[in-house]
């Protein structure tokens, strides 16, 4: 009985310690100086931590628990910061309330959640197990992937709202910008921006809808319908329309083209994951995402 308690405490200790380290990394990555380098280092170290967690019993669940605890503490920190500003504003200590949800903060969170999802996928794809243990392994992966994926999806939606509406200035009476000639902005970006700015501009537009495409691919259990193909056009059109109506940005046909193309990188990534797993298991494990939208008890 004593040994069982020690093992149980050890497992919880690993989860809490991992969550604490992830939170510390987030705080470092959220510092303005050398932000890009800090984000990259945070992502790499987060991936290493998550991969190390898989060495423990019920590794996927420990990854999911660590990310859940870390996300809860991070959210509590944001809330505390906001409430602190509200209090100081109400008594006249400050003149303006700044949202703690900056793009830098959200990108830091995305980096850690994304690397956690990648660690789960890597271990699931390349794990070697007999077919008898397959069902349990599949269930463990799905449970953990759903928990971390839900957190990532919430942050992803928050970033879309924050990036296209909240942090931008709405000017309903100002002049609006609309670009309907394809590939015009490509020339402007490559001519007027630095290589790093070009990368950020293209990557931001291309990968904007990739998570949606990935979800649509792992969700389907039959041949894709018309919605599967027109959804990125609809979503991208809505984003550009909102920018045009609220006058918060530059409505551009090239953004729609890149958003739509990036959407299909999601299904491509999911197909590659399934293909590699089939090759490793000699087609015994054909789809690692089976049961993703089913509940396990």
Euclidean distance between CA atoms 35 and 102, whole angstroms: 13
Query: Could you report the per-residue pLDDT of 244-266, keeping only the tens digit for each?
Result: 998 888 889 999 999 999 999 99
Euclidean distance between CA atoms 257 and 109, whole angstroms: 27
Query: Could you report the per-residue pLDDT of 70-91, keeping only the tens digit for each?
Result: 999 988 888 888 888 888 888 8
What is the band of 296 on the pLDDT scale with cuts at 50, 70, 90?
Answer: very low
**Residue that terminates a domain, selected from 167, 186, 209:** 167
What is the band of 165 on the pLDDT scale with cuts at 50, 70, 90?
Answer: confident
Name the token pair of 115.
Answer: 């690397």
Q: Within this chain, do residues 123 and 255 fall inside the same structural domain, yes or no?
A: no
**Residue that terminates a domain, selected from 167, 188, 207:** 167
115 contacts 67 by C-beta, under 8 angstroms: no
Q: Within this chain, do residues 156 and 189 fall inside the same structural domain, yes or no?
A: no
List the domain range (segments joined by +) for residue 201: 171-297
Euclidean distance between CA atoms 110 and 153, whole angstroms: 10
Q: Within this chain, do residues 225 and 115 fall inside the same structural domain, yes or no?
A: no
Which H or E run includes 23? helix 2-29
Specify the pTM: 0.83
Q: Within this chain, do residues 17 and 142 fall inside the same structural domain, yes or no?
A: yes
Question: Residue 139's closest CA among 66, 64, 71?
Answer: 64
In this prediction, residue 132 carries a pLDDT of 52
Q: How many domains does the chain have?
A: 2
Q: Within this chain, do residues 139 and 193 fall inside the same structural domain, yes or no?
A: no
Name the token pair of 205.
Answer: 């537009």
**Residue that terminates a domain, selected from 167, 192, 212:** 167
Q: Within this chain, do residues 202 and 291 fall inside the same structural domain, yes or no?
A: yes
């Amino acid at each position: 009985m004593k040994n069982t308690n020690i093992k149980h405490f050890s497992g919880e200790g690993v989860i809490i310690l991992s969550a604490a380290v992830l939170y510390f990394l987030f705080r470092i990555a959220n510092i303005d100086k050398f932000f890009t380098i800090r984000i990259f280092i945070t992502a790499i170290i987060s991936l290493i931590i998550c991969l190390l967690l898989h060495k423990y019993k019920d590794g996927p669940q420990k990854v999911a628990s660590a990310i859940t605890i870390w996300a809860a503490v991070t959210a509590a920190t944001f809330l505390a910061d906001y409430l602190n500003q509200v209090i100081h504003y109400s008594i006249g200590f400050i003149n303006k309330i700044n949202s703690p949800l900056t793009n830098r903060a959200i990108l830091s969170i995305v980096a850690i959640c994304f690397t956690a999802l990648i660690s789960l996928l890597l271990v699931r794809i390349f794990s070697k197990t007999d077919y008898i243990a397959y069902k349990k392994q599949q269930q463990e992966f799905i449970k953990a992937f759903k928990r971390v994926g839900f957190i990532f999806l919430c942050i992803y939606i928050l970033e879309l709202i924050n990036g296209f509406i909240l942090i931008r200035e709405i000017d309903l009476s100002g002049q609006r910008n609309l670009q309907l000639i394809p590939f015009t902005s490509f020339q402007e970006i490559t001519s007027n921006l630095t290589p790093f700015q070009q990368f950020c501009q293209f990557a931001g537009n291309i990968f904007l809808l990739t998570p949606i495409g990935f979800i649509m691919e792992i969700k389907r259990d039959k041949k894709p319908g018309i919605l599967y193909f027109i959804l990125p056009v609809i979503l991208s059109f809505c984003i550009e329309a909102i920018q045009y109506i609220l006058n918060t940005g530059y409505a551009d046909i090239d953004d729609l083209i890149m958003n739509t193309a990036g959407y299909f990188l999601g299904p491509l990534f999911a197909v590659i994951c399934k293909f590699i797993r089939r090759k490793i298991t000699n087609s015994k494990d054909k789809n690692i995402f089976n049961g993703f939208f089913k509940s396990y008890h």
